[in-house]
Amino acid sequence: MALLAQHGLLRPYLRQCLMADALATETLSDDERRQALIAFAQQRRLTDGEALERYRIANLLSPEALALQVELPSRLRRHCERLYRPKAEARFLERKQQLDQVVYSLLRLQDEGLSRELYFQLQDGEADFADLAAQHSEGPERATRGIVGPVPLTQAHPQLVERLRTAPIAQVQEPLLIEGYWLLFRLESLTPASFDESMALQMSQELFEQWLEQAVETRFEQLRPQLLAPISEQPQ
C-alpha cells in the first residue's frame, strides 16, 4: 500500500478493488457473457480466439482476469439498474439544466470596434457567420468555423449560458464582453434533456460513481494513519 501511495496509485487501486467487490455478486447468463465477449472483441478489433489469446498474454491477464475485464460493462450496467434505477429520475430532475444540449455559433475578438463592425455586417446580411469566424475569431472555434456543440449548455461561461437560455434561434446577439474578449454568438439549437432509458442508465451510473468516489475516500482515510506511521511500525 505504501508503495502505491508513494507513486500516486493508491486511489486508482482502491477504486478498482471496491468496484470489483461491488460487482462480484452480479451474475450474467451464458447469452449475456457471449454478448459481452462480442462487444469486447469488437471494441479492440480482436477478430478471433487467437487474437483474444494474444491480447490476454500481452496484458499479463489470467483467464479469470480476462473474463472479469470482458464482463465488467455488463455487470456494471446490471448493478446500476438494480440498485440505482429507482433513484435515477430524481437525479435527472436535479441535473436537468446541466444536461440540456446546445449548438451555437461563436466568434471572439479582443478588438471591440471590430466586433461591432462584424456584428452589423451579420445583422445586415452582408457576411456569413462561418466565414467571419474562420477569418477573425481568436478562439478555438475558429477551426470549426464558429460552430460549438452539441455540448451541455452549462459547459459555456456562466454569462454566456444566461444569454443562450433566452436567445432566439438563429439571431445574432450584440457583442458580449467576457474575460477580455468580445463575443459574437448565435443560438443554432437548444435541445432540452429528456428522461428516456438511455438517460436513466446514465443517471444510474452517475449515482454509482458518486457512491464509488465516497467509498474510495472513506477507505483512503482509513489507511492514512497506517501509511503515515514510521516505517518500523508499518506492516511488512
E-assigned strand segments in the chain: 101-109, 147-152, 172-178, 181-191
Bond into 225 cis (ω within 30): no
Same domain, 43 and 159: no
* CA dist 65 → 39, 56, 68, 198 (Å): 17, 9, 5, 29
**Domain of 120, in residue numbers:** 101-191
Same domain, 105 and 187: yes
How do residues 123-138 score in pLDDT, each as one tens digit?
Answer: 999 999 999 999 999 9
Give the cell for residue 184: 459574437
- For residue 229, the 8-state DSSP code is S
Same domain, 179 and 216: no
Indicate the length of the chain as a whole number.
236
Same domain, 169 and 218: no
Same domain, 158 and 42: no
Same domain, 88 and 35: yes
Same domain, 60 and 73: yes
Phi-psi region for residue 235, left (φ > 0), alpha (ψ -120 to 50) or beta?
beta
Give me the pLDDT at residue 69, please: 94
Q: State the pTM of this model.
A: 0.73
User: For 50-55, what is the mean pLDDT?
Assistant: 96
Domain count, the chain: 2
How do residues 205-219 score in pLDDT, each as one tens digit?
Answer: 999 999 999 999 999
Same domain, 132 and 177: yes
Q: Residue 135 belongs to a domain with what CATH number?
A: 3.10.50.40
How do residues 65-122 score in pLDDT, each as one tens digit?
Answer: 999 999 999 999 999 999 999 999 999 999 988 899 999 999 999 999 999 999 999 9
Same domain, 109 and 225: no
